C-alpha cells in the first residue's frame, strides 16, 4: 500500500506544471534546387489531463520561397529525454524550394491552451545545379508538322474515346435496369434491423473482456485500454458525445449536462483515471485496482442506462 501511495504521489506531481518546448527542424540543412525534404514541427509538454494544441493552417506555401507538397498527420509520443512524463506531439511537412542561396524559415506559432508557443527559426541552403560550360549546348529544335493517321489520332485521344464508351455503357445499364424493374414484381420490404441498446452492447463487451483475463496475465496496458474504449463507446452511443476524441476530464465535464448522479460521475472518473495512468504513464495498477475499474465502469453503465438529458 505504501508503494502505491508513493507511486501515485510521484505521478500526480508531474501534473503540477506544464512545460512547453516548441522546435523546428529539417532532415537536412543543404538541399539541391527543386529537391524535397521533410520539415518537422514539434511541441513537448508535460503530462496534463487537459490540454489543447492548435496547429497552424497551411496553404500551398510555407513562405514565399518554400512550397508545401504534403502535410502528414500529427503524431504523439514520449519525448526523447528519458522522462516518462513528457510527451511530444509533432507534424511533418514535405517541402521543396526553387530559390537559390540561403532560405530563412521564420518561427512557427503553435497554440497551446490559452497561450502561443513559437519554434526556433531555421536556415536552409539551396544549392543550384552546376553547368559545365564545356558541354555542347544546343538551341531548341524547330517545330515540325506531322501528318496524323487514324491510329495516331486514336493514341492521342484514347481517353475521350474510353470515356465515351463508359458513358454509353452506363446509359445502357440503366436502360436495362429500368426495363427489368418494370417487368419484375416488387420485392417485399426488408425487415428493419433490430437496434440493440447501448448498455446491452457495453455490458456484453465487459463480460468478454473479463473472460480474457488480460490483467491476470500481466497485460495491464492492453486491459485498461480496452476497458477505457468500452466506456467511451458507451458514452458516445448512449449520450451522443464524441468521447473517443476527448480527454477523460472533458468527458466528465460533458456528462454533467445530463441527469446523472454525482456518485455515477465520480465512479466513471476514478476508473478512467486509473486507465489513463496505465496507458500513458507506465503505471502498474494493483490487482484490486484492476478489478475495481471493471466494476466501476459496469456500475456506471447500469445506473445510466435509462438516464434522460436534464
* Residue 6, pLDDT above cutoff 70: no
C-alpha cell at 189: 420490404
Q: Which of 120, 123, 121, 124 has the alpha carbon at shortest distance from 22?
A: 120
pLDDT at position 17 is 41
Q: Give the rounded percent of residues in the chain with a pLDDT score beyond 90.
A: 21
Instruction: Please give the residue that has the higher pLDDT: either 233 or 244.
Output: 233
Q: What is the model's pLDDT at position 20?
A: 75
Q: What is the pLDDT of residues 261-294, one digit of tens each?
A: 888 888 888 888 888 888 887 788 888 888 888 9
Q: What is the pLDDT of residues 65-113, one digit of tens each?
A: 899 999 999 888 887 766 777 888 899 999 999 888 899 999 999 988 8
Give the pLDDT of residue 131.
Answer: 64
Would you list the domain boundaries of the chain?
12-127, 198-303
Each residue's pLDDT tens digit, 169-212:
999 998 888 877 766 665 566 666 778 888 888 888 888 988 88
**pLDDT at site 120:** 94
pLDDT of residue 82: 65
Please determine, for residue 4, whether its predicted confidence score (pLDDT) is greater than 60: no
Q: How confident is the model at residue 134 (pLDDT cuts 50, 70, 90)?
A: low
Greatest mean pLDDT range, 43-47, 105-109, 245-249: 105-109
Q: What is the dihedral of CA 211, 216, 219, 221, to 10 degrees?
A: 90
The pLDDT value given to residue 210: 85
Average pLDDT over residues 238-252: 83
Mean predicted lDDT score pLDDT of the chain: 81
Q: Which CATH number fits domain 12-127: 2.40.50, 1.10.3470, 1.20.120, 2.60.40?
A: 2.60.40
Q: Which residue has the higher pLDDT, 158 or 16?
A: 158
For residue 14, pLDDT beyond 60: no
For a pLDDT cut of 70, what percent of the chain falls above it? 83
Of 9-18, 101-110, 134-143, where does mean pLDDT reach its minimum?
A: 9-18
* Whether the predicted model's global pTM rises above the 0.75 cut: no
Does 168 have pLDDT greater than 90? yes
pLDDT at 303: 86
Amino acid at each position: 500500500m505504501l508503494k502505491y501511495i508513493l507511486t501515485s504521489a510521484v505521478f500526480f506531481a508531474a501534473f503540477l506544471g506544464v512545460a512547453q518546448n516548441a522546435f523546428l527542424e529539417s532532415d537536412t540543412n543543404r538541399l539541391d534546387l527543386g529537391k524535397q525534404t521533410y520539415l518537422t514541427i514539434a511541441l513537448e509538454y508535460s503530462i496534463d489531463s487537459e490540454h489543447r494544441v492548435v496547429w497552424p493552417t497551411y496553404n500551398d506555401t510555407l513562405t514565399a520561397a518554400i512550397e508545401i507538397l504534403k502535410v502528414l498527420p500529427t503524431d504523439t509520443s514520449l519525448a526523447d529525454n528519458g522522462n516518462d512524463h513528457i510527451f511530444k506531439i509533432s507534424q511533418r511537412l514535405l517541402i521543396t524550394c526553387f530559390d537559390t542561396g540561403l532560405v530563412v524559415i521564420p518561427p512557427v506559432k503553435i497554440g497551446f491552451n490559452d497561450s502561443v508557443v513559437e519554434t526556433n527559426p531555421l536556415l536552409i541552403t539551396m544549392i543550384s545545379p552546376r553547368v559545365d560550360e564545356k558541354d555542347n549546348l544546343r538551341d531548341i529544335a524547330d517545330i515540325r508538322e506531322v501528318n496524323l493517321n487514324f491510329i495516331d489520332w486514336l493514341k492521342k485521344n484514347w481517353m475521350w474515346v474510353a470515356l465515351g464508351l463508359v458513358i454509353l455503357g452506363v446509359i445502357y445499364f440503366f436502360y436495362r435496369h429500368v426495363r427489368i424493374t418494370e417487368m419484375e414484381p416488387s420485392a417485399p420490404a426488408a425487415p428493419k434491423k433490430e437496434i440493440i441498446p447501448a448498455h446491452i452492447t457495453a455490458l456484453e463487451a465487459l463480460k468478454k473482456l473479463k473472460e480474457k483475463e488480460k490483467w491476470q496475465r500481466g497485460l495491464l496496458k492492453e486491459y485498461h485500454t480496452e476497458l477505457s474504449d468500452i466506456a467511451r463507446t458507451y458514452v458516445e452511443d448512449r449520450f451522443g458525445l464524441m468521447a473517443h476524441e476527448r480527454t477523460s476530464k472533458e468527458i466528465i465535464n460533458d456528462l454533467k449536462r445530463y441527469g446523472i448522479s454525482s456518485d455515477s460521475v465520480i465512479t466513471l472518473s476514478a476508473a478512467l483515471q486509473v486507465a489513463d495512468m496505465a496507458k500513458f504513464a507506465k503505471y502498474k495498477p494493483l490487482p484490486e485496482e484492476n478489478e475495481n475499474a471493471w466494476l466501476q465502469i459496469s456500475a456506471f453503465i447500469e445506473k445510466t442506462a435509462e438516464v434522460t438529458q436534464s
